[in-house]
Chain A
């Protein structure tokens, strides 16, 4: 996983609430067995017209937001399905940071696993950042993860919260499976106790 330390980039505003994971990547594109290559289908129904050509009204089809690396939306971003194809599609498009007043839980988790930083900020702040985003390439936002601030084009710093463990994994680009396997002794102890305390718990074997 690529590290996330600081990011200075063009931000795109999608002023909608409840942007669901079907909207981010429709199910018919989930037939892949790869993590990459989904960027061209990100926001498919919004991005393309029924004849397959680009919808010129959609922000990610316009300059300079074709190169946006930050997305700002309203509440409950990523609701719906658990598909990690949603953050994969965003990442493949080039998005490294998503900012919203609230996120659906599974999508929020899935972002971290892919080096995308999801930031929760109040609706009023998101409105201000959307205003910045609409100014385009003259108004890049800077996300400074070590200091936990978003820096607006006018230099104002907006602080944000993040769990210490998740921050550490992002800053180092660490695979959390490796981290958990460092706790192998605890897992083995737990399993020994499980076998004793819940001997009724069936395991599954097919003939």
Chain B
């Protein structure tokens, strides 16, 4: 058989049937469901009189809409409450396993899946959320789908897809001080652009990727969608197997050994064909952040804001100027030293225990700068509990951070955690689109350590100065 990539192998293993025009019916091992993109799908099943084919391969959780404040109080916003109650009715009616709001297992779907061993290597995993690419860190083919496709998976446990092209992004070398997975991924997106991966599945490889822990790999794959890719992947290895071992829903004992034997066959073969390949040197990447309203507008913290006058394409020039105006920045100004109003540490990109430890290291013994609101939102109830066992909550609270309940929070401006117009936020989330964190809000994407540095200095800061 010809040499195949990791993507090719998982794909081939899940093709139910290929239709004459090349569209495949692809089998789905896990379907993750949340409250925002599922109600119309459940309703569609009901109207058509269809069953949910495999509730035991489906898991539901609430995350996007939930307040991250005190959970003993009822949810104030009527529409949010309705969406959550609708999900609760639907999972009951269709028999779907569900982590309710008050469960300690509740959290962001892309944190909960890997944490519980619900997402495993070699699987096909879908969810009505673009950041489903996160689960690719385990070496699974995981991608976001629309609500019509959610309904399709519910009814058939399959999806209609054409194979993606293969792309490999290698990051070689050893990252320098103050550089984490987030900086690496922002640098990759800056390099290939937000449409750089369109039509492709990106396999992340190279010594710097191999050297990342699972949380770091999840941060990388999470933002594969910001590079336009259908999915991100990292080949499963010993780091992966050790992470998966003993997770609540992972196979145990002999079944685990069988699974590992299979997972070991998945790595891309020597000589497998990639339609596109890009290599970056980890040593070239410093602490990195975004200045504009697209995730590709990245710069190093030591850089100055780019000047539209240097651009020749009129449309690009106009768009850059619009971004500068929206962000309240001037061409040529140093990005470091720009004052921030809000710091958000959380989201499916950076809310795992490893992320919180990185932030705590910077926060320890320091105080949040006067006038800055700084929030820590753990990715799940379990992350929160573990952080409390490690005393991280004390570090954050003593420094003046808010210590909140798990949810999507200020990543997307649909729950009560939102920016107000003009507020500038140092955010560990994944999108800096206009209005993403609230109408008129200004987002700088950066790492947990850089976010913590911004919190304690009150401005965008090179984290290496605080080390």
Contacts and interface: CB of A to CB of B under 8 A. Distances in A.
B59 A180 contact: no
Interface string A11-55: 000011110101100111011111100000000010000100000
Interface in B48-91: 48, 50, 54, 56-59, 64-65, 77, 79-80, 82-83, 86
B40 A35 contact: yes
A152 B319 CA distance: 28
Given A27-B413, A35-B40, A187 B158 contact: yes
B152 A177 contact: yes
Given A177-B152, A187-B16, A75 B195 contact: yes
Contact of A106 (B123, B145, B414): B145
B56 A203 contact: yes
A22 B434 contact: yes
Contact of B315 (A35, A74, A204): A74
A113 interface: yes
Nearest to A50: B421
Interface in B283-338: 294, 315-316, 319
Interface stretch (A56-64, A78-86, A131-139, A141-149): A78-86
Contact of B228 (A34, A79, A163): A79
Nearest to B147: A84
A109 B25 contact: no
A83 B27 contact: no
Contacts, number: 198
Interface residues of A, number: 60
Interface size range on B against A: 35 or more
Contact of B43 (A15, A33, A164): A33
B158 A180 contact: yes
Interface in B111-132: 117-118, 120, 123, 128-130, 132
Interface string B22-63: 110101010000001101100100001010001011110000
25 contacts: A17-B316, A22-B431, A27-B64, A31-B77, A33-B43, A50-B440, A74-B315, A80-B431, A81-B144, A83-B36, A83-B37, A84-B148, A102-B195, A104-B198, A106-B143, A110-B149, A163-B162, A165-B160, A176-B148, A180-B25, A180-B158, A187-B157, A198-B262, A200-B251, A201-B123
Interface of B: 16-17, 19-23, 25, 27, 29, 36-37, 39-40, 43, 48, 50, 54, 56-59, 64-65, 77, 79-80, 82-83, 86, 97-98, 117-118, 120, 123, 128-130, 132, 143-149, 151-152, 155-158, 160, 162, 194-195, 198-199, 225, 228, 230, 249-251, 255-256, 258-259, 262, 294, 315-316, 319, 412-414, 421, 431, 433-436, 439-440
Interface of A: 15-18, 20, 22-23, 26-28, 30-35, 45, 50, 74-76, 79-84, 87, 102-106, 109-110, 113-114, 163-165, 175-177, 180-181, 183, 186-187, 190-191, 194, 198-206
Given A33-B40, A198-B262, 6 more contacts: A26-B435, A33-B82, A113-B148, A180-B160, A191-B157, A200-B255
Q: 3 closest pairs, A vs B, by CB?
A: A113-B148, A31-B79, A84-B146
